[in-house]
A and B are shown apart, each in its own frame.
Chain A
């Protein structure tokens, strides 16, 4: 089992290392870390820092995908959470209450998805599509409540959680570590992970084994909603404005990608939290590298697609075998 885990991480890690080596060559000083304004400062810190929201969303996504589901609504949940924060700040709520409200909104969105999937038996891709489509509209409507002309705000508490730092370390990294450990304990130190994986692997069998597959399915969307709400708080407080139309756009795709790069299968049945984090780091390293490279922006998506393809090919046994076979034939 240990050997297997090591094996699973090998290829995504290799990909990450390759990207970093290329970065080191094209951008001198890429790895330099200094202290600026009382906090760690440098590109590696940026990568970790910027990867946190997508990593959070991806963790929730990993749990959902483990149950053979998918959550397309995460970007929209971020939009709704962001709009809610801006609205309640204008309404003058205590900021600590707003923090709890934001998390509650995420949980509520997750419960809605869970209700559609687990209770009404709508296929996850369709069920979450509903909130994906409507969520940004809901965010705009929330903005309209207070006029929506200037959705920017100031909140020492929320901004502290997002862009502040404790000692030299960015707060969001510390909070992420806390949430990651909590989620890991929930999945791996209770039987919830086993139940989710069994429902994802074979829902009928899990049900006949006495597991309440419906409740488990419901719970994964709530977990996803909660993780996404936290990402929404970070993203919204980061720019201290609510932008429902474009905040976290396509984040569902990046999250799914992170899970897949981490070795998760859309067929469900397995949850790899650590690997998903690695997948999110690969994606963000790539994104930051493109920005650092000075390439014209027209190449952004193409470069990303090519690198992701390369990473996924590395992971595919078939593709590796094919390459090795070709190599051997060439030699022979």
Chain B
């Protein structure tokens, strides 16, 4: 960046004009224009399937465009491969971490060009280079540990460190904060501000509206493959932004959210007494009742996922008891839980939630089929009917039920995970980060869905890092800290401030 030395913030760094892209059966982008100034953080917003990822992939050479042109610093450029984009100083950090977890941090950071001495790789210099790259992000970690041994948040920061080159002119961050906690997010924003002062144009894709206003200079909104508009962040009120994104009056959205919290009582459907596992989760008590939502709050790594998995039998407990309808569970496995009517929607869709090669229909049928056993296959007509029902009920955006689920956008994949559980007619539903990485519209739909299910008499557990979401849906909230349940609050005590206070350990 020293070479170009351009810091004039009014200069157009990169410009995309009239870009269109069609996938089989889907018009992904329709004559989209996007202008990025040098030294700005430009938020790119839109619902799932709006075309954000496609637009970014075209900018970074991961996808060919059907028409349109790209100009870099005023000159037309040809970007046909990711290598082209990198050579032009356009770097990307994709939504799903694209690193090799089984290699060390050093090796991940020097994957494409290892420093060599006498034709051999010099690991000493590689380590130094890795340290230097991490230093830009003020990240001090052991570079010789395997990347996979670090939390997702650290992996994300390593991915950013890897993407940054000395000559980076455009940096694309695709949902970089999806798995970061507040401190890490603040650190990232500081880094983004530093980078923009060097004249780098930063594209920031996110679903967190708060964060947009914290860091973005300008905002562009995509909807259904078209550019709805671009405006300076300071001149765009939140409500207007959200209606630009979802394309309908906000009142309707809020009305859906306004269903009242349910009143629950009676015997717990699922009760854990002293349930725990050494080095995973300190023994805890928790009870879920029909028609009740229990929230699980806590920082990343506080044991939210572990708690849900212990309740589901995916992690085998070594102490305590789990009771379903008052009867003690003897064998712990997902298969057994399923037969008790307990279902689990994992946080990490790609790794644990879905089978990417299988179709939407097949994925949705997995849970029900597992419950029925392999001998009693659900007939094809029934499968189609149930799938169609779910697609309509959850508004899953897919051209048809036979599309491989891996080709759907993130939010729709999340809905498929939900659909899979719902089809199996659960009594207890354990949701781990049900709104992770999904857009505002889908977010509201999922929250509304949680409430509807609750009203239908389901017992729900919602583990989430979004406090507002927990406050909105929960009848009770269990707060976790350092793999220990520290507090359970209910009713009027459930406030954002209270939860933060408890998490902080006051």
Contacts and interface: CB of A to CB of B under 8 A. Distances in A.
B356 A201 contact: yes
A195 B369 contact: yes
Interface string B400-440: 00100000000000000000100010000000000000000
B374 A195 contact: yes
Contacts of A269: 355, 357-358
Interface residues of A, number: 22
A144 B356 CA distance: 51
Interface stretch (B80-88, B254-262, B333-341): B333-341
Given A191-B377, A198-B366, A208 B356 contact: no
B353 A208 contact: yes
B390 to A, nearest CB: 15
Interface string B74-104: 0000000000000000000000000000000
A269 B357 CA distance: 7
B360 to A, nearest CB: 12
A269 B355 CA distance: 8
Nearest to A201: B355
A212 B333 CA distance: 8
B369 A208 contact: no
B346 interface: yes
B65 to A, nearest CB: 18
Of listed A189, A201, A204, A210, residue having the most chain B CB within 10 A: A210
Contact of B366 (A1, A189, A192, A209): A209
A145 to B, nearest CB: 39
A205 B346 CA distance: 9
A204 B351 CA distance: 7
A71 interface: no
A202 B356 contact: yes
Given A191-B369, A197-B355, A209 B334 contact: yes
A30 B375 CA distance: 45
Given A190-B374, A191-B374, A195-B374, A208 B344 contact: yes
A129 interface: no
A270 B378 contact: no
B350 to A, nearest CB: 9
B129 interface: no
A16 to B, nearest CB: 26
A208 B337 CA distance: 10
Interface string A181-222: 000000001111011011001101111111110000000000
Contacts of B468: none
Contacts of A192: 374
Interface string B339-378: 0000110100001111111100010011101111111111
Contacts of B312: 208
Contacts of B372: 191
A210 B357 contact: no
B444 interface: no
A195 B373 CA distance: 10
A206 B334 CA distance: 10
B352 A197 contact: no
A316 to B, nearest CB: 18
Given A192-B374, A195-B369, A210-B370, A202 B354 contact: yes
A262 B344 CA distance: 36
Nearest to B362: A194
Contacts of B188: none
B314 interface: yes
A202 B417 CA distance: 14
B367 A210 contact: yes
Interface string B269-293: 0000000000000000000000000
A197 B374 CA distance: 13
Given A195-B374, A206-B366, A208-B344, A270 B352 contact: no
A194 B356 contact: no
Contacts of B375: 190-191
Contacts of A189: 377
Nearest to A192: B374
A270 B359 CA distance: 11
A156 B424 CA distance: 53
Contacts of B371: 210
B34 to A, nearest CB: 29
B357 A209 contact: no
B429 to A, nearest CB: 13
Contacts of B377: 189-191, 194
Given A191-B372, A191-B374, A210-B338, A204 B352 contact: yes
Given A190-B374, A191-B377, A195-B370, A208 B355 contact: no
19 contacts: A1-B402, A190-B374, A190-B375, A192-B374, A194-B366, A194-B377, A197-B362, A201-B356, A202-B354, A202-B355, A204-B352, A205-B353, A205-B355, A206-B355, A209-B334, A209-B420, A210-B366, A210-B424, A212-B335
Shortest beta-carbon contacts, A-B, top 6: A210-B338, A201-B355, A210-B370, A269-B357, A209-B366, A202-B355
Interface of B: 312, 314, 333-335, 337-338, 343-344, 346, 351-358, 362, 365-367, 369-378, 402, 420, 424
Given A208-B352, A210-B370, 20 more contacts: A1-B402, A190-B377, A191-B374, A191-B375, A191-B378, A194-B358, A194-B377, A201-B355, A201-B357, A205-B353, A206-B355, A206-B366, A207-B314, A208-B353, A209-B370, A210-B366, A210-B371, A211-B335, A211-B370, A212-B335
